[in-house]
Every structure is written in C-alpha cells, then in structure tokens.
Amino acid sequence: MDLYEFRIAGQLSDRWSERLGGLAVQRREDGTTTLVGPVRDQADLHGIFIRMRNLGLSLLSLRRLTQPRHNDWAPREHSANTDRC
C-alpha cells in the first residue's frame, strides 16, 4: 500500500474526507486542498478518481509519497544460456 497526495482546486471542508475514502483533508493558504492517504492498488486509485469526478472536484496534481515495494516495471535480465526460438 502506497501513500498518495491529491491536490484539489478550492477549499474543501473536513466532511469531504468520508466521501473520499477517508483521505486526510489539509487546506492550503493558496486556496487549494491536499488530500493524503493510503491507496491499496490501481483499482483503489481509479475509484478515488471516479469519486472526485462525480463530486465535480478538479484534480490539480497527484503525487505518490512512498516508493513502490516491487520494481515490476524494470526490464529483467536474461541469462546468456537461454535458448532463443
């Protein structure tokens, strides 16, 4: 599970936390709101995007605050002894 930060246009009250899956609401002096919390996986992330869209919120930025545990996207090294077809 990774920690994400969503920056939203406008000032949201704390009551929005429950509607957005328990994300912590932090109002900023620049007139935006930062929502911070854990995201289980890609399906959970997309669910948050859908809720934001349905609520009419404007997403300004998204930032992952923790690094992924697995490096699945990296190219895998191949052994020199592998057979090729």
34 Cβ contact partners less than 8 Å away, ≥ 6 residues apart = 5, 6, 7, 8, 25, 26, 28
Q: Convert the pLDDT of each residue in 32-58 to its tens digit.
A: 999 999 999 999 999 999 999 999 999
Q: Where are the domains of the chain?
A: 2-64
pLDDT (mean) for 64-69:
76
Q: Please provide the CATH number assigned to the domain covering 2-64.
A: 3.30.70.2380
Residue closest to 3 by CA, chosen among 34, 30, 28: 34
pTM, two decimals, is 0.75
